[in-house]
Chain A
């Protein structure tokens, strides 16, 4: 029954879409966002941000503290503008960290969770909440510390790498074939016009998913039949630093709202 209902809803949505389907998927996403706002008055991503806000301010973990003491790069508890400057080097861990890994760092070091207790279902809403505090600001990542330089170079190499049984990598689709599509899906211009790092984490309306860029990168590899890099490992962090540097100055839309 649920599926029939869903199918009917989709069919009626298709009917609405058929009246005027914008060519550009970016325009289509904007239209879908408007439709959702009109019909329900709130976006699903707003609810995820609220969920993250609760998780952020609640005293949790073995040490019973909130995440207000967490330094996301601009000082403990400073959230505005923090996520548009990530990934960056953190002296306390001696590592370049992205939003996901920094949340995990604070959940383990500040709140006292064990690494295996850090759930994606908590990291993602937290990422949505923190990112939302940088909505509208320009992306501003730096390559200053030696560790940042090293990570940037790693990210660049991985972005252009060809590997696996399908001989592919990020750039094969997201640079060389930007104006084409695979199956019915058009490729975003990750380093150029779309400045993809400016709108992640994002809500994906086509399958009701809340994803951070780490989820997105892992899914890209998965779609290519390529083994996925681990969450919080240097691979997704390096790729994000490379992409974010290309997106510098782009105005952030956080959380993003995408197909």
Chain B
């Protein structure tokens, strides 16, 4: 590139198009400008709003402490972009380097960043999903509608799915004094992300706060009244729950349909890219002008056996966007790998839950500090004799220490004593993740692909 100075020309007068105007898209745009990109920048977003922050939607907004239209992301610097908001991208012509838009327009690019994220998985029965009072929660509009409905004082709310979002919604409802039933197919909340040992604590928290938690059941049918408003849900165990608000919280689907037939390696599991955020085409050849970042990306992580990780995490969107933007404007020798250590947080039932690494790869867990019965503890996950992840319940201050252990592939169980070690923390126990071969919804981490040095596909025990 440097031979003919084309990188300089790209920086000076190139055209960069970002599809996806949320957290990853915005942070990428800011980074591009910070790195000196002076050409034209186009931001394409399917929602009619400027980039906004999603985590508050299931917390501050549902608690009535902020309104959904007041969660816009701060601008860290001017991005000087052409904004095409409310206009979804509908197609990609890789040969002509063009993005097609829903309004018929086409936008040409020299470099493309895809950050189209995910959407809430809808209730599978369409006629039931359309009943009044049935919601999903992903967007600003979703949150606004749900909050309005909660403010009207429903007699009972049913949350289907006890992942992080579902659990946070249930927590907000209880805080507002609304009766809540939570239906979860697994044996406890949060088991996809944190396993059964920690899931037990999450279940205890829910019940302690008055949630009618029902595990090991599925909702088989939603029933509406004559006015088309949901009135009840029927469960696989034969029981029925009357609820006038139902929130479907069954995880997310990747927004990749618009790329069908484009030749890009995009599908149900997201868009595969290399560690430098460059997208693969369907032949498995890496592209040089198309980059991916955020929830829709799937990239190999050296620290986790080069598994392709797909992370629906706030911090991942930021870090990957910054790396993608840097690499878009760099010679190959100057490119950086996206080697962010996964981390996320959740706030529910008054407890701050935080995690680092990839707990779902763990086969064992050690309660290294504190106690599960006090809902204040640190759990460390082990995989093949090394520390692979950690979770804290109201023990944030210890998390960074365990992150260092993960980064240095420290042995598991840790060989040293820890502060506040209890009898329950003397020995590791099975982490109790669900069998990955059984389909499930809503894990925060999806692992797939083959590692060059580790072709074992069974990374969680089959215990369910």
Our verdict on whether A and B bind, yes or no, reads: no
